[in-house]
Structure 1
Amino acid sequence: MPDFLSAPSLLRDFITLFVVIDPIGTLPVFYYATQSVPERLHTRIALRAVLVATVVLFGFLLLGQVLLETLGLRLGAFQVAGGIVLMLFALTMIFGSPKSSQEIAEAESDHMSGAVFPLAMPSIASPGAMLAIVVLTDNHSNSIAEQSVTGAMLLLVMLITLGLLLLAPHLKRVIGATGANVISRIMGIILATIAVDAMVGGLEMMGVLALDG
């Protein structure tokens, strides 16, 4: 059996993708994105968000490295930019005030807008997830077969993410609106920490910072 089909290799890819995509951490973002949307549409939003995120991540699996190298962009710069975007969204989760009547009206007129932003991107298909996909499928060191296995692990994680989002309304009834609000603030702080870590890691990759750990 090839090494990349061994249990440790498969587990490594799965855990890496599960951590960077973070299906559980996506739940507060889902609650935030659907707070002004009728519950009957939550399933459609979950399906569209996961579909969009899957297309984006598989696009990076196939073309991400080629695109970055063609444009002459460094992975570190991409990671820093992604960290900034994540930080901006994290701040809205932490300090965000209730939606204004205008925002609620816009949400009611376009129920699916939250499926793309912030749910599909940057929550599910986060910059960290995109970067992880590029690293795990490095064209210079991984064969087509190895990249296919990584793609299968990615698909598995996305199915888990979809399952959790479909269960989200039931989970919210258990924890209540107050609990969901508290979780959203806590996850916003965690997301801000992840954003800072992404920016620091990107700066290290570019040689701007040299930290010992």
Structure 2
Amino acid sequence: MDFNLKEIAAAFMILFAVIDIIGNIPIVIDLRKKAGHIQSEKAAIVSGVLMVVFLFVGKSILGLIGVDVNSFAVAGSFILFFIALEMILGITLYKEDDSDPMTASVFPLAFPLIAGPGSLTTLLALRAEFNTENIIVGIILNVIFIYIVLKTSSKIEKLIGKNGINIIRKVFGVILLAIAVKLFATNIKALFV
């Protein structure tokens, strides 16, 4: 095992920006109102398991359909780019349907809000650059943070306020935009070598 603090920190920050659990607090609060209760533990664990499983079998699934990791990473960079634009400009390019309150902790909270197309694409892109064990630690740290945020979402909203959440969302949007550009530049070279 080759644990690297720099890689762990990078994997954590990239996933944190993509998952954007702070920016999703308004959605979490809305889901809580509709469902009456959200199982924070269930949502965090299911999303963590989905991310770890995809980290290991995602490449095999891609192999079955004849797509290499670099091509997937380039495609992923476009998804990250659009997610970043949503965060920065405050627009919605993709809207999820409302879910049944009984299953709100798993769908749409764990999937696709937390472990969605953006985070799953990011995991495969990270796998092309970082050691797997460092990515797993990054996932675990995010799951712990997600759990804390889900448990305390009402208090966080009161503490930070709507403007605070909007500012955090825009800052992480800019970081995510930079990550998308780097991901694109790194992997596009590999496709033409």
Query: Same-fold call, TM > 0.5?
Result: yes
Shift in Å, 1:59: 1.6
Alignment of 1:69 with 2:54, yes or no, is: no
Shift in alpha-carbon separation, 1:14–1:183, aligned structure 2, 3 A: closer
Q: Which ranges of structure 1 fall in alignment gaps of 5 or more residues? A: 138-146, 209-213
Rounded to whole Å, the distance in 2 between the matches of 1:157 and 1:108 is 24
- How far does the alpha carbon of each residue in 1:80-138 deviate from its partner, in whole angstroms, 9 at most, with x for none? 1111112222222233359xxxx8xx648668354123333145x3422233246524x
Alignment RMSD: 3.7
Rounded to whole Å, the distance in 2 between the matches of 1:166 and 1:23 is 19
Between the two proteins, what is the percent identity of the paired residues?
20
**Structure-1-length-normalised TM-score:** 0.65
Rounded to whole Å, the distance in 1 between the matches of 2:182 and 2:141 is 26
- How far does the alpha carbon of each residue in 1:34-69 deviate from its partner, in whole angstroms, 9 at most, with x for none? 363345859727545433432322223332333333
Shift in alpha-carbon separation, 1:170–1:85, aligned structure 2, 3 A: same
Match of 2:131 among 125, 128, 136: 136
Which residue in the other structure is 1:57 paired with?
A: 51
Rounded to whole Å, the distance in 2 between the matches of 1:150 and 1:188 is 21
Which residue in the other structure is 2:148 paired with?
A: 163
Rounded to whole Å, the distance in 2 between the matches of 1:128 and 1:171 is 27
Q: Which ranges of structure 2 fall in alignment gaps of 5 or more residues? A: none
Shift in Å, 1:78: 0.7
Give the count of matched residue pairs: 186
Which structure's CA Rg is the greater one? Answer: 1
**Structure-2-length-normalised TM-score:** 0.70
Alignment of 1:183 with 2:168, yes or no, is: yes
Which residue in the other structure is 1:84 paired with?
A: 78
Match of 2:189 among 175, 180, 204: 204
Report the AA paired with residue 55 of structure 1.
Answer: V
Which residue in the other structure is 2:25 paired with?
A: 31
